Amino acid sequence: MLLSRNWFGFRPNKNFCTLTEFPSKLLVKMARSALDEMSDSGAFARTASTFRNFIQKDPSSQFPAESGRYHLYVSYACPWASRCLAYLKIKGLDKAISFTSVKPIWERTKESDDHMGWVFPTSDTEVPGAEPDPLNGAKSIRELYEVASTNYSAKYTVPLTESAEIIRMFNSEFNGIAENATLDLNPPHLQSQIDKANEWIYDGINNGVYKCGFARKQGPYNEAANQLYEALDKCEEILGIQRYICGNTLTEADIRLFVTLIRFDEVYAVHFKCNKKLLREYPNLFNYTKDIFQIHGVSSTVNMEHIKRHYYGSHPSINPFGIIPLGPDIDYSSPHDRERFSA
């Protein structure tokens, strides 16, 4: 999430909350966690983010892009939050926009009900990488949503606003203060190609692994797994002829794909039953993942300890004893062969 420091807590309702439509007619009740987002057919059906305000470069806009004004709440475990963090580093915005990571394992967020979600540690040392909420002193991400909107009753996610939109804002709206302002991960001449790639990669891979993992019936699982491997095979083929998904320049499509690939063999292959083929059995995809991991700043956004502890420890319906598998412990900083494609 992105919260504006100078208005959050003062005028939250008017400015923060714009309710979007509730997309899935199939949902039986309002989902309070991804584990509840289930259609009648047993398929995982993700709901859309709620808070959708835009930060703009125009200083007279409602939410102007200013250094020190915004704070990003993340979990290192979460791929959606991690794509925002990757942008923060790649665009050189980490001095202008502060961020805090929650603890990796979901806990009870209130004593009065049984909701399980993201919570902050009580000290900097409780869980390395996680920090207490520096702005609002909140105990949980849920508490932040409740400050922003008194009648909010959907999921309490990180980031709090839609990550697909946050990364677009980071790319274009903060260039007055970004250290890497000239880097455009959405160049106009590639825009439609990026949008198209995002669509099938989101459906088949980013959300596809969740559709495999959260399916409660064999049919939806089979469908999601087949779609996942079709999409991975397609990526493997594309990456056999060019360095990145949309050509020989890095784009948004690569960052969006990377956050899922880096979690694939360590988590999704086991926890979400994506085991038909491992990432490291795809030579192009595996080397490509190392290539992106080695972009300056990106490795600092990958905290495998948080990633593994979160997934294996927060979904008791999938992994009731919370046992974390030992392997495979892949070294993504080892050499790759992607330089053979010249820009």
DSSP per-residue string spanning 109-136: S-SSS--EE-B--SSTTTSTT----TTT
Does residue 213 interact with ligand GSH by CB under 6 A?
no
> Of 259, 50, 243, 303, which is closest to residue 167 (Cα–Cα)?
259
For residues 106 and 288, which CB has a smaller minimum distance to ligand GSH in the complex?
106
As measured in angstroms, the least distance from the Cβ of 172 to ligand GSH is 18
Residue 282 known to be catalytic: no
Contacts 24+ apart (CB under 8 A), 161-166: 161/1, 161/2, 161/49, 161/51, 161/52, 161/53, 162/48, 162/49, 162/51, 162/52, 163/49, 163/80, 163/81, 163/83, 163/84, 164/198, 164/256, 165/52, 165/54, 166/2, 166/72, 166/84, 166/87
Site string for ligand GSH, 87-106 (x = CB under 6 A): --------------------
Has 155 been labeled as part of a binding site?
yes
For residues 4 and 50, which CB has a smaller minimum distance to ligand GSH in the complex?
50
For residues 158 and 215, which CB has a smaller minimum distance to ligand GSH in the complex?
158
CB 158 within 8 A of CB 74: yes
Q: For ligand GSH, which residue of 12, 121, 159, 204 counts as binding (CB under 6 A)? A: 159
Does residue 146 interact with ligand GSH by CB under 6 A?
no
Residue 210 known to be catalytic: yes
Number of residues interacting with ligand GSH: please give it, by CB under 6 A: 15
As measured in angstroms, the least distance from the Cβ of 137 to ligand GSH is 20
Instruction: Compute the distance between CA of residue 34 and CA of residue 155 in angstroms, rounded to an integer.
Output: 7
As measured in angstroms, the least distance from the Cβ of 122 to ligand GSH is 20
Active-site option among 76, 78, 274, 311: 78
For residues 158 and 279, which CB has a smaller minimum distance to ligand GSH in the complex?
158
> Of 213, 223, 198, which is closest to residue 267 (Cα–Cα)?
213
Q: How many CB atoms lie within 10 A of CB 19?
A: 12
Has 163 been labeled as part of a binding site?
yes
Instruction: Compute the distance between CA of residue 259 and CA of residue 139 in angstroms, rounded to an integer.
Output: 27
Q: Interface with ligand GSH by CB under 6 A: which range of 158-166, 179-187, 231-239, 283-291?
A: 158-166
As measured in angstroms, the least distance from the Cβ of 136 to ligand GSH is 17
For residues 272 and 282, which CB has a smaller minimum distance to ligand GSH in the complex?
272
Q: For ligand GSH, which residue of 16, 80, 244, 286 counts as binding (CB under 6 A)? A: 80
DSSP per-residue string spanning 59-115: TTSSSB--TTSEEEEE-TT-HHHHHHHHHHHHTT-TTTSEEEE--SS-EES-SSS--
Does residue 140 interact with ligand GSH by CB under 6 A?
no
For residues 80 and 221, which CB has a smaller minimum distance to ligand GSH in the complex?
80
Residues with a catalytic annotation lie at 78, 210
Would you list which residues are annotated within the binding site for glutathione?
118, 155-158, 162-163
* Interacting residues with ligand GSH (CB under 6 A): 33-34, 49, 78-80, 117, 155-159, 162-164
